[in-house]
Amino acid sequence: MTTNTDLTMQFFAAWGARDVEAILACMTIDARYVNVGMSDSRGRDAIGQMLIPFVAGADRIAWTVHHIAQTAGGAVLTERTDVFVMGARTLTIPVMGVFEFQAGLISAWRDYFDVAGFQAQMA
């Protein structure tokens, strides 16, 4: 049986493949994605519009999971480091993420990270 933890790892693999269609296919049509402190996107189309330029601008994406746990209610909690190689620039972002599921798809995704640290790397 596939667990929500397995589904989360498949989602991360889609990021590593830089496959926006596969990333979005992991989400419900009405999913909500919150970059806490930055953006809040609702719906697969809106999430795609936000992700496409970021994924397209990356030469390589690698997410390293340090800790992962699934709650009794099925939410998946991840502590990870997201790395985006964008030409000569490499962004390294420590992240705590929460994933909620409905019918085997991500219905809510929240990432918590140091926004100022991310923005400094983007400057």
Look up 111 and say whether it is catalytic.
yes
pTM for the predicted model, two decimal places: 0.93
Amino acid identity at 9:
M
Catalytic residue among 6, 30, 82, 114: 82
**What pLDDT shows up at residue 78?**
98
Integer Cα distance of 20 and 57 in angstroms: 12
Whether the Cβ atoms of residue 75 and residue 98 lie closer than 8 Å to each other: yes
Share of residues in the chain with pLDDT > 90 (%) = 85
Cα gap 17→36, rounded to integer Å:
25
The neighbouring-strand residues paired with 24 are none
Mean pLDDT of the chain: 95
Pairing outcome for strands 89-102 and 76-86 = antiparallel
pLDDT over threshold 90, residue 8: yes
Known catalytic residue: 59?
no
Selecting among 19, 30, 45, 111, the annotated active-site residue is 111
pLDDT tens string 37-60: 888 999 999 999 999 998 999 999
**Distance, CA of 102 to CA of 47 (rounded, Å):** 17
DSSP state for residue 116 in the 8-state scheme = H
Complete domains list, the chain, with CATH:
4-122 (3.10.450.50)
| pLDDT tops 90 at residue 6 | yes
